[in-house]
Copies of this chain bind each other. A is one copy, B any other.
Amino acid sequence: MPFLPDGAINDLKDLLGPKGWSTDLDVLAPHNAEARGKFKGQAEIVLFPASTEEVAKAVAICAAHDIAIVPQGGNTGRCGGAVAGSKQVLLNLKRMNAIIEIDERDFTATVEAGAILQTIQEACARHDLLFPLSLGAEGSCQIGGNLATNAGGLNVIRYGNARDLCLGLEVVLPDGSIWNGLSKLRKDNSGYDLRDLFIGAEGTLGIITKATLKLFARPQHVATAWLAVPSPECAIDLLALARRHTGDAIAAFELISGFAHDMSVTYLKGLTRPLATKTDWHVLIELTSSRPDDDLQALLVDLLSNAVEIGLASDATIAQSEKQRANLWAIREGIPEAQGFEGGSIKHDVSVPVSRVPDLLDRGIAAAKALIPGIRPCPFGHVGDGNIHFNFSQPVSMEKSKYLARWESLNRVIHDIVTDLGGSISAEHGIGQLKRDELAHYASDEKMKLLRAIKTAIDPDARFNPGKVV
Q: Which of A88-96, A266-274, A349-357, A392-400 contacts B (4 or more CB under 8 A)?
A: A349-357
A73, CB-defined interface residue at 8 Å: no
Contact at B192–A454, with CB atoms within 8 Å?
yes
Chain A 1-32 interface mask (CB, 8 Å, partner B; 1/0): 00000000000000000000000000000000
A187, CB-defined interface residue at 8 Å: yes
In the complex, A156 Cα to B193 Cα: how many Å? 17
In the complex, A196 Cα to B192 Cα: how many Å? 8
Contact at B197–A247, with CB atoms within 8 Å?
no
Chain A 136-162 interface mask (CB, 8 Å, partner B; 1/0): 000000000000011010001100010
Contact at A439–B248, with CB atoms within 8 Å?
no
Q: Report if A193-B163 is in contact (Cβ < 8 Å); known contacts: A188-B426, A290-B244, A292-B245.
A: yes
Near B by CB (< 8 A), chain A positions 373-390 give 382, 384-387
A438 to chain B, nearest CB (A): 9
A460 (CB) vs chain B CBs: closest residue: B453
A191 contact from B106, B193, B431, B453, Cβ within 8 A: B431
Near B by CB (< 8 A), chain A positions 419-457 give 422-431, 435, 439, 442-447, 449-451, 453-457
A294, CB-defined interface residue at 8 Å: yes
Contact at B190–A443, with CB atoms within 8 Å?
yes
A358 (CB) vs chain B CBs: closest residue: B105
A128 to chain B, nearest CB (A): 8
Name the B residues within 8 Å of A451 (CB-CB).
191-192, 194
Name the B residues within 8 Å of A457 (CB-CB).
453-454, 456-457
Name the B residues within 8 Å of A351 (CB-CB).
185-188
Chain A 183-214 interface mask (CB, 8 Å, partner B; 1/0): 11111111111101101110001000000000
A433 to chain B, nearest CB (A): 14
Contact at A187–B424, with CB atoms within 8 Å?
yes
Name the B residues within 8 Å of A248 (CB-CB).
216-217, 290
A32 to chain B, nearest CB (A): 24
In the complex, A449 Cα to B174 Cα: how many Å? 13
Name the B residues within 8 Å of A430 (CB-CB).
189
Q: Which of A235-243, A338-346, A405-413 contacts B (4 or more CB under 8 A)?
A: A235-243
In the complex, A179 Cα to B191 Cα: how many Å? 21
In the complex, A107 Cα to B299 Cα: how many Å? 22
A110 to chain B, nearest CB (A): 11
A470, CB-defined interface residue at 8 Å: yes
A248 to chain B, nearest CB (A): 6
Contact at B243–A191, with CB atoms within 8 Å?
no
Contact at A193–B200, with CB atoms within 8 Å?
yes
Chain A 248-262 interface mask (CB, 8 Å, partner B; 1/0): 110000000000000
A104, CB-defined interface residue at 8 Å: yes
A74 to chain B, nearest CB (A): 17
Name the B residues within 8 Å of A427 (CB-CB).
185, 187-189
A181, CB-defined interface residue at 8 Å: yes
Contact at A447–B179, with CB atoms within 8 Å?
yes
Contact at B431–A186, with CB atoms within 8 Å?
no
A429 (CB) vs chain B CBs: closest residue: B189
A457 (CB) vs chain B CBs: closest residue: B457
Chain A 31-56 interface mask (CB, 8 Å, partner B; 1/0): 00000000000000000000000000
A187 contact from B128, B156, B240, Cβ within 8 A: B156
In the complex, A384 Cα to B196 Cα: how many Å? 22
Name the B residues within 8 Å of A247 (CB-CB).
217, 249, 289-291, 294
A246, CB-defined interface residue at 8 Å: yes
Name the B residues within 8 Å of A185 (CB-CB).
351-353, 386, 422-424, 427
In the complex, A105 Cα to B384 Cα: how many Å? 11
Name the B residues within 8 Å of A217 (CB-CB).
243-244, 247-248
A251 to chain B, nearest CB (A): 12
A184 contact from B183, B240, B353, B426, Cβ within 8 A: B353
Contact at B156–A186, with CB atoms within 8 Å?
yes
In the complex, A152 Cα to B218 Cα: how many Å? 26
Contact at A189–B443, with CB atoms within 8 Å?
no
Near B by CB (< 8 A), chain A positions 285-317 give 289-294, 299, 302
A180, CB-defined interface residue at 8 Å: yes
Contact at B186–A236, with CB atoms within 8 Å?
no
A-B interface, 4 closest residue pairs, ranked by CB to CB distance from nearest = A457-B457, A184-B353, A196-B196, A188-B424
